[in-house]
Each structure stands twice: as C-alpha cells, then as structure tokens.
Chains A and B, each alone.
Chain A
Amino acid sequence: MKKDKPDPNSVKGISRRNFLKGFGITTVGAAVFESGQATKNLKAAGLLNVSDSIPIEGAKMILYVNSKEYSVHIKPKETLAEVLREKLELTGTKTGCERGSCGACTVLIDDNPVNSCMFLAVDAVGKQITTIEGVASDENLHILQNEFIENDALQCGFCTPGMIMSSLAIIKKNPAPDDEYIRKNLSGNLCRCGTYPKVFQAVIKAAKG
C-alpha cells in the first residue's frame, strides 16, 4: 500500500481486512447458482462484504442477473457490459459505441434502463440486473418480444436487445405510454436500420397488452 494513502482499515465501516481474508480463493470465470446458493457459498468464504473496498486485482462477487445469482470475479475497472458479455457469456447485450450514446448495451438495473457500457460491474453488485436473456419467461416470449416480431420492429437486430430493454422499462413505468413518451424514452437507443416507427407501434401494442 502506498504511504500517502490513508489506511482504509482504520476507517470505520470499511472492511478491507474482511475482504483480504478471502482474496486467495478468487477464480476467473463465473459460476451460476440456484438462487440463494451462491450467497451461502460466498458467506462461508467470508466474501460477502467485499463491496466496500476492492483491490485492483478484483474479487469474487455476486451479481443478480435475470433472477439468477452469478458468482464472478470482477475487477473494479470492468464495466457491466464487459462482465455480462465476456464472463457470464450473456452476449445478447451488445455494445455499439462504448460511450453511452447508442443504447445497444441497455440493461435494466432495478427496472431502470442504464448503459451497461458506462456502468461499473462492481456498482451492480446487490442490484437486480435484467438483460435481454431474462425478458422471456421459460418458453414464453414476453408480449413485447411478440409485438416486436409481429410489427417487424427489427431489421439487422443488433440494436434490438437494447431497444427491447428500453421499451420494457417504458411499459413497466407507464401502462399507457403516448407517442411522445415513447419517443423520449427511446431517445437513447440508436437504430441504424431505421426500425423506430415499428418499435413505437410494438410498444404501444405491448402496453395495451
């Protein structure tokens, strides 16, 4: 540790020591557990309080994605998009700009749409993350997915996961969104193929149920 840094152990509430205890057992890659199991495993390893301080090398943490728990090694600098795609192999989430301008990487965090390319994975610990892979339930498509297909709200499909995530947030918040509301709330999603008019139709129809 550098001299000119305060010793975090001396700071109330920061459990660096706690964190270091379990540090040796971190592994690369992700494991998926049935709900609750990962928490137990990590608790057993003394790893659950890591989120208040994480070293450069990162640590094993739990992400709640699509109602599943993933135990995954995360470095502080890694974005959520990176971790989802590279470590959890949830490649439905795309990136198109890496700078918050295109919305291809949209996921929901506690029901709010965010750019996963501009969101640190460590900040997602403890939150409910929903990706495109979690929109359909088991075998059934979500009504929004059905409406996207029915209305042809997709062409090449590369922006579609992000578009659907933003649309999902719209209909969760507003049961009867009007055109203006939809446009405003989709204004963070670019589609180079120009599917917008059909996306609006799909959202309106999905909201109606």
Chain B
Amino acid sequence: MNKKEKVSVGLPDNLREIIIEIPEDEPKPWDGKSELNYIGKRVKRIDGIDKTTGKAKYTFDVKIPGMLYAKFLRSDFPAGTISEIDLSKAQKLKGVYSVLPAQDDLPLIIRYAGQEIAAVAAETAEIAETALQQITFKHTTSDFVLSVEDAIRENAPLVYQTTVKEKTTEGDLDSSESSVVQEGNIRGPKIFPEDENAEKFDDYLRNCEVIHTAEYRTQVQTHSAMETHGVVVEWGSDDKVKVWASTQGTFSVRNDIADYFKLKYNDVRVITEFMGGGFGAKFGAGLYGIMAAKLSRATGKPVRLMLDRKGEHLSVGNRPDSLQKLSIGTTKEGKIKALKLISLGTGGVGTGAGTSGPIKNIYDYEKIYVEESDVFINAGPAAAFRAPGHPQGAFALEQAIDEMAHKLGIDPLEFRRINTTGNYIRQTQYVLGAEKFGWDKRNQVPGSIKGPIKRGFGVANSVWYYIYNKGFVATVTINRRGEVQVINGVQDIGGGIGTVLAMIVAEELGLEPDQITVKIGDTDNGFGPASGGSQTTAGITPAVRNAAYKAKIRMIELAASILGKTTDKVTMEGSRFSDGDDISKSLSFQQVAAKIPGDEIRVTAERRSDNLGREEIKTTIDGVQFADVTVDTGTGVVKVNRIVAVHDCGRPMDRLTLESQINGGIIQGISYALYENRILDRNTGIMVNPNLEMYKIAGARDVPQIETIIMDFNQAMNSTGAMGIGEPATIPTSAAIANAVFNAIGVRLRSLPITPDKILAALEEQSK
C-alpha cells in the first residue's frame, strides 16, 4: 500500500513542490523544507575516542590465543611456469604448522612479479619468514610485456592464453558486457554507442568547424591504504568460521569464503570493527583470505595473514593506467557537436581500464564515439579505485575541453557553461565556484607572467552517479530502560557511516546521537552495503530511518495506550509524547519505554527501491573544482596553492565528515596529479618502488588550502535523500591542476604525474 506525500525538492533557494508516492510504512522523506536537529549539521564521530586513544582494534591488531602468523612467498619474476614446488623443508621447521601452495594443482602460471606461490603459517612471523626461504621450486621463465605499447605489438608475448572474464566488485560500476572480444593482449574494444559506425562518425567529426585532437596519458596508482589488506581467520572445530577482515565489504568476504569452501553463509561470520582505508581495493576475501582460511582449517588454529607494504603494492590492486586519444568537434561558436575517445589502459593481469564515464556524462553533444580496451601486461591486477576510470577520463576530457576553449578563444569556464546548459546544478556550481575562487583574476594569456615563478588557475568538472543497492536491512531496538540501538552489518571505512546512523536514529526519535548505540561491522548484524561506488550512505540510511520510524510508531502506540488516547491524538515534541488534547499531559521517552512489553521493541526495515510515481530522479552527481598553482619554471616544481571544490551529494548528512571526505578526495587527486607512480623495472618487470618512500604520497607540506562548497540538493527520492561523495571529489583534481599548469606556463602537460622532469622537458620543447 502506498501513500501520497507532498515534498519540496531542488536547491534550497529554488524549491518546488511535487507529489510523491511512498510505501505506507515509510516516513515522509526529508525534503528541502525539513528542519532537522542533526542531519546536515556538523556532528562529531561517535568512535572518535576509540580512534584517538589507540583503543580502536583494527584487523591488524587482532590477537587471539594460539594465533599463527602467515606469510606469502611471491615470485620475483614476471612470467613463467612453476612445475614443481617442494614444501617439505619448510614444513619440517620447528614452529611451522602448515605450508600450502597458492594454487592446488601445478603447473602454476606466473603472470607478474609478486604473484603468490605458497603460504606458510607458523608460531611467529619470524619463523614464517624463515620457512619461506626454505621453499624451493622448479620453474621456467618466459617473455613478458610491461607496457600498453609493448603489449599491443604484433607477436607480443601473451599474458593469457585463455579468455579472461571481467571480475567486478562492488567498487566497480556495472559493466554490461556481452560481446567483448579478446585478441592477443587486448580485451576489447567496447564500443559506445554499440551500433555506431566508426567511419561514419569520423566523417561527422571531420565536418565540424573546429576540431581538437590530442593524446593523454595517466600512470598506475596504487591504493596504498595505511592498513594493508589482511585477515585473521578462526576456523572452528565445528566448521564455523570467524573472520576479522580489513574490508570495505563484510558480506563480500563472507560470500567469497562460504562459496569457496562450500559452507553455509550462516556459518561464516565476518567482523570489521575498524579498518584502515580501502579506496576500492578491499572487496571480497582475496587470495590472502582464502589462504588464511585454508591454513586455519589445516592447523585448527586461528591464522593471521596481513600483507606487508611490498605485497600490498604488488598484488592487491591499483588504478589502471591509460592512453587516451580524444577528439572534440565544435561549431565556431563553441557548441560541442562530436566527442570521440579511443582508450587503452592496463590493469596488469586484471581488467577495468575503461575511462569513458566523463566523456559520456558531462557535456551536451550531438554525436559520440567511444572505443575502450583493456590491455593485459605482466603486472599486478587492478582493482576498483575511488571512482574507477573517472580521474583518468577527466584528466583527458577536461584538458581537451580546456584546449578547445583556448583554440576557440573562449574562457574555459564559459565554454563549459555553454555546453552544459541543460544541467542547472552545474550552472549553479560554476557561479558559486568562480566567485569564491576569484576566477576573474586569472591570468588571461597563459604563460604571460614575467619571471621564473608563474602562477596559474584551472578548472575541471567531475561526474559521478547516484548508485544504490536494495535489500539492506537495519534493525532498531528500544529497551525498557529507553536505551536505543541501531544494528547493521555495514563497515565504516573512514567515511563515518556509524555516526550518520546514530544521527538518523536520534533525529527520528528526538534523542541525541551519543544516546544511540551503533552496532556495525559484523555480518551477523543484518545485510549492509559494501562501501564502493559512493553508495554506502545512499544504501543504508533509508533503511535505518525507516526502522527508526517504525520504532517511533510503536512508541507512539504505546504512549497512546498509556495516555488512554488514540494514536492520532499523540504528538511528539523532541523525545516527549504528549496528549494532543491536553499538552500538559506528557510522557518522557523513558516513561514510555518502561512500559514496553517483554524486553524491547525490535523492528527492522529494508532499503527499498526509490520512490514511485514521480518524475525522473537526477542520477548524476556533479562537481567542479578550481585549482591555483605555482610553477617554478627553473626547476619544474609545481605547487598547488589552493583548491575550491563545489560538489553536489544529495542531502548532506554529517557536514563535518562530508568535508573530510572531500578533502581526502582532493588530496588523493593532488597526489595522483603530481607524485604517485608505480614504476616497473623495464628489464625485469619488478616494481622498484614498492614502499612509501619512493612511491610518493602527498604529505602535510603538499596540501593546499582547500575550500569546499557543498550544495544541498534535495530530491526526496528516499527517506533520507542521501546520495554520495566518496568518489566524486577525487575525479577532477588532476585535470584542474593540469589546466592551471597550462594557464601558468602556456604549455600542456598531457601526461601524469606532472613531475619536474616533464615540466622542464615541455618548456624546452616550447622554447625550440
């Protein structure tokens, strides 16, 4: 049964009313006119004390009696075949409990340096390490390829002899791929639109009045979460398995382990109380999870398998690189007619190198043509990484847009404006951002500033999507003492979802957030979303609000019976229940709770599909960032002075943690733009910087002044109106910086990272 509600939607200063239809047992969605106590305000994290006192226990810290320490032996060659492994010597070492090959049957094909060969579980980490050195194997090596260019050459050594199926995780965007072909090391192309004819399109492009074409490159970036991947697995004698995992998807770990070992889902419990960052790489059990489980089963003891920093860089994910050829065709006036992208990229032995999100979804165009392919090389597998494909895509597209604007003699922001006219969110963002940033003060002629130190401004757009899954189940309990709990399996990867859940329940019940006990991070707590695709908040918050609402209704019913009234006569002010006819008769939350029959009220509610019976919901999440940089043309060093970021994220929940998410995305974007690069030795295929010293990550002195403008965009499409922000903020940063560098020095840097050597080379090229 549905009910109809009138809600106000849109931006705060431009709300309109619409009628929506929602299920009977759900509250009227929070909308543009809702006045709320906590939601949208700055609320401290509920686990702040644990995290600032060292009490917070991460998987890395779990220690249980009898626990063994496991380690991997990894290949130090990038391609070959292992035909025999001798584990016996390692097994005989005192303190070694079990040694297992990474793959049950031989031969084991090695496809990258760093691939797992075997794992040891021993009394101490030290014994495990010693045991690894005792493992011997027979192998042959074979030729390998380390770059996209090499891999697509004719007769290039093949990374796979067989066809590879794309493995997607919760962190990836849905990829409907029926007919992707694999030839040589190339898997693809995927063509968009599927029925587009390349030659016809090229004719169309050629006939545009102004055309820009250029090639853009991005590097491989590793996730480098501060806590490495890992698990502690306790395989009980009753075949019940308990797993502590540093994961962003407790349920995905449970499913992987249960599926692999043919166990009941109900017999596998995954716990993630605290976890030290994931950024997309921590879905599923991974080989480390499976091996730890095997070792625990074999030894009857709990096994801890945490990767070291080197293993982390090599084997558990990265952002694929890209080589993108991009063309734009416009009219003389600057209306975009045609967009074309040919994109190659490598996720090493993995897939997921597509970059077409931005080009398809930001600008208005008449015609588009995209070909994107994954290229296999002998390097560690890619994994979803904060907005998969989008920073790469935006780096190319947003620079190309800038180049086109320059070619047309149109202000880059104006060019963006006239090509996104249908998107009122963007139009507003441009105005807000430009004003805050001082866009009008930018250097009108790129490179024209005198002297060696040059300053420049740049801008870039981002796009992400409103994605959510359904079926999450939240539980809210109120007991006779008036204690309130919210329970769900979702894990907090640093975004602060636990705090948001407390805020929602507090808001609904008129309580304060710190009165709410939050139980999350445990698959026994009810199905919760994986934290990927910026869908955690949009996924779980409606379920939690719906559950809190149901609990509230039960409390009102109870209050009504105490007051001897019908429920429609009971009003709720804060957490007090009053007789609508006689306000002086009122009951506190505690007074009502004390009358709960039995022990507690326990209600669950589900995340259903978004509201019915209304016009279409806007499903892109838009953003724009402005960058102010200084380039030292004598040394090539780029310094980012300031970033102004304007983002939409639906209805903001906790503004404090939201800001932190945006800061984080921007800082990762800066790091990607200027420093990070996985470097494989071209002769051996071994990564030369698998550490945090030469794999360079932005630190305290590299961070600019960051100002954020968060748009409160209400669509009232679900009970909380939340969308997402985790990914969007990292998408446009590198492009904005690159555009600012151009504005400063008048030379284009079309390749990431923008390091001093590249700046110096580009300046030299220009002066020739």
A71: interface (CB < 8 Å): no
Q: List 22 A-B contacts (CB under 8 A).
A: A90-B54, A92-B53, A92-B54, A94-B226, A97-B309, A97-B692, A99-B692, A104-B226, A131-B54, A132-B54, A141-B53, A152-B657, A155-B661, A156-B225, A160-B51, A192-B225, A193-B494, A194-B664, A194-B668, A197-B705, A197-B706, A198-B660
Over the window 92-105 of chain B, the binary record of Cβ atoms lying under 8 Å from chain A Cβ atoms (1 yes, 0 no) is 00000000000000
How far is B699's CA from A25's CA once the two chains are assembled, in angstroms?
46
Residues 685-704 of B, flagged 1 when their CB comes within 8 A of A and 0 if not, give 00000011100011111010
**A133: interface (CB < 8 Å):** yes
Chain B residue numbers with a CB within 8 Å of A145 are 49, 52-53
Residues of A within 8 A of B54 (CB): 90-93, 131-133, 161
Contacts known (A149-B45, A158-B226, A198-B660); A101 close to B691, Cβ less than 8 A: yes
In the assembly, what is the distance between CA of A155 and CA of B665, in Å?
A: 12
- Is A96 a contact partner of B227 (Cβ separation < 8 A)? yes
Residues of A near B665 (CB, < 8 A) are 194
**Cα distance A104–B699 when bound, in Å?**
13
How distant is the Cα of A188 from the Cα of B700 in the complex, in angstroms? 8
Q: A157-B274, A158-B277, A187-B700 are in contact. List 17 more A-B contacts (CB 8 A).
A: A90-B54, A94-B58, A98-B309, A99-B693, A131-B54, A132-B53, A133-B54, A155-B494, A158-B58, A158-B60, A158-B276, A160-B52, A161-B52, A183-B703, A192-B697, A193-B664, A197-B663
B200 on the A face (CB < 8 A): no
Quick check: A196 and B667 within 8 Å, CB to CB? Answer: yes
- Distance to closest chain B CB from A145 (angstroms): 4
Q: How far does the alpha carbon of A25 sit from the alpha carbon of B456 in the complex, in Å?
A: 69
Complex CA distance for A161 and B666, rounded to whole angstroms:
23
- A179-209 contact mask (Cβ, 8 Å, vs B): 1 or 0: 0001110111111111111111000000000
- Is B330 among interface residues, defined by CB-CB distance under 8 A? no
Complex interface: chain A residues within 8 A of B701 (CB): 183-184, 187
A residues 150-166 touching B (CB-CB < 8 Å): 150, 152, 154-161, 164
Q: Which residue of A lies closest to B61 (CB)?
A: A91
Q: Give the number of residues in B that approach A within 8 Å (Cβ atoms).
A: 56
A89 close to chain B: CB less than 8 A: yes
Does chain B have a CB within 8 A of A23? no
Give Cα distance in the complex from A208 to B225, angstroms: 32
Per-residue CB contact flags for chain B residues 32-63 toward chain A (1 = under 8 Å, else 0) read 00000000000011011111111111101101
Q: Are B44 and A191 in contact (CB under 8 A)?
A: no
For chain B, residues 413 to 451, give those with C-beta under 8 angstroms from any C-beta of chain A. Answer: none
Closest chain B CB from A185 CB (angstroms): 8
CB nearest to B55 among chain A residues = A92
Report the separation of the CA atoms of residues A193 and B493 in the bound assembly, to the nearest whole angstrom.
10
**Is residue B496 contacting chain A, with contact meaning CB distance below 8 A?**
yes
**A135: Cβ under 8 A from any B Cβ:** yes
Chain A nearest CB: distance from B520 CB in Å? 14
Q: B196 near A: Cβ within 8 Å?
A: no
Q: Verify B656–A152 contact, CB threshold 8 A.
A: yes
A182 to B703, CA, bound (A): 12
- Contact between chains at B664 and A154 (CB < 8 Å): no
Residues on B with C-beta less than 8 A from A200 are 700
- A187 CA to B699 CA, complexed, in Å: 6
**A96: B residues at CB distance < 8 A:** 226-228, 309, 692
B30: shortest Cβ distance to chain A, in Å? 22
By a CB distance below 8 angstroms, the chain B residues around A100 are 693
> Residue of B at shortest CB range from A198?
B660
Residues of A within 8 A of B362 (CB): none
Known: A158-B227, A187-B701, A195-B664. A149 touches B52 (CB 8 A): yes
Mask, A75-91, CB within 8 Å of B = 1, is: 00000000001000111
Q: Does B143 touch A at the CB level, under 8 Å? A: no
**A interface footprint on B6-26 (CB within 8 Å = 1, 0 otherwise):** 000000000000000000000
Residue numbers in B under 8 Å from A158 (CB-CB): 58, 60, 225-227, 276-277
CB within 8 A of A97: which of B50, B61, B279, B691? B691
Cα separation A31 to B526 with both chains bound (whole Å): 41
Asked if A102 lies at the interface with its beta carbon under 8 angstroms from chain B, I say yes
Task: Note all chain A residues with C-beta closer than 8 A to B703.
Answer: 183, 194, 196-197
Q: Which residues of A contact B274 (CB under 8 A)?
A: 156-157
Chain A residues contacting B55 (CB-CB under 8 Å) are 92
* Minimum Cβ distance to chain A for residue B515 (Å): 17
What A residues does B48 contact at CB under 8 A? 148-149, 154
| A45 part of interface (Cβ distance < 8 Å) | no
Q: Which residues of B contact A195 (CB under 8 A)?
A: 660, 663-664
**Is there an interface contact between B496 and A155, defined as CB atoms closer than 8 Å?**
yes
Across-interface contacts of B660 in A (CB, < 8 A): 152, 155, 193-195, 198
**Separation of A200 and B705 alpha carbons in the complex (Å):** 11
User: Is the pair A190, B494 in contact by a Cβ cutoff of 8 Å?
Assistant: no
* B308 close to A (CB within 8 Å): yes
Which residues of B are found within 8 Å of A186, using beta-carbon distances? 699-700
Q: Are B657 and A193 in contact (CB under 8 A)?
A: no
Pick the contact of A156 from B223, B277, B663 — CB < 8 Å?
Answer: B277
- CB-nearest residue of chain A to B658: A152
- Our pick among B276, B279, B706 for the contact of A157 (Cβ within 8 Å) is B276
Q: Are B60 and A94 in contact (CB under 8 A)?
A: yes
Once the chains bind, are A141 and B691 in contact (CB under 8 Å)?
no
10 pairs of A and B residues whose beta carbons are closest in the complex: A92-B54, A158-B276, A156-B494, A194-B667, A194-B664, A157-B51, A149-B48, A155-B494, A132-B54, A91-B61
